[in-house]
Amino acid sequence: MRRAVVLASLLAAFHANATPLAIRVEAGATSVVIAITNVSKRPVVFVSPDIDVLKGPAWVPFRLEVSCPCDSLCRSKIIELAVGATRTFTWDRLSTDCRPVSSSATLRAVVRGPSSEQLHHNVLLGISDAFH
């Protein structure tokens, strides 16, 4: 119940153009470090970040849940981030099915809240700037 209330309040905040998470990306040749900071006034719950790739005019999923090994059936745990806290993740630059990403690909990190029966979808909590 508490998670549903937190998710509902985050959804309302997001629609009011307030993003509860700040996402900083440091892209290297073999890995990418994703730092997620809670900039809201309450704890935020989310799952491991995803990576999208730009294909033509659309962003499409490339790697789901970077904290899980590629080509696995892993589902990462729900993470609760306190106000002002930062959590980092390292992505190995591989797709969900273990294909390497092209060095010229345009990418972004996407963070969503956990799925909720009340909301019937994952709440979008933040998107990084594009990177390569």
Query: What digits encode the pLDDT tens for the residues 46-98?
Result: 999 999 999 999 999 999 999 999 998 887 788 999 999 999 999 999 999 99
Reported pTM: 0.82
Question: Closest by alpha carbon to 126, among 49, 59, 62?
Answer: 49
Strands in 15-129 per DSSP E = 21-27, 32-38, 44-46, 50-55, 58-63, 79-81, 86-91, 107-112, 124-127
User: Domains (ranges, CATH) in the chain?
Assistant: 2-127 (2.60.40)
pLDDT the model gives residue 35: 98
At residue 1, what is the residue type?
Answer: M
Beta bridge partners of 54: 59
Helix (H, G, I), strand (E, B), or coil: what is residue 5?
A: helix
Residue 70: other Cβ atoms inside 10 A: 18
Q: Which of 7-16, 46-55, 95-104 has the lowest mean pLDDT?
A: 7-16
Residues making up the chain, counted from first to last = 132
Question: Closest by alpha carbon to 106, among 35, 39, 54?
Answer: 54
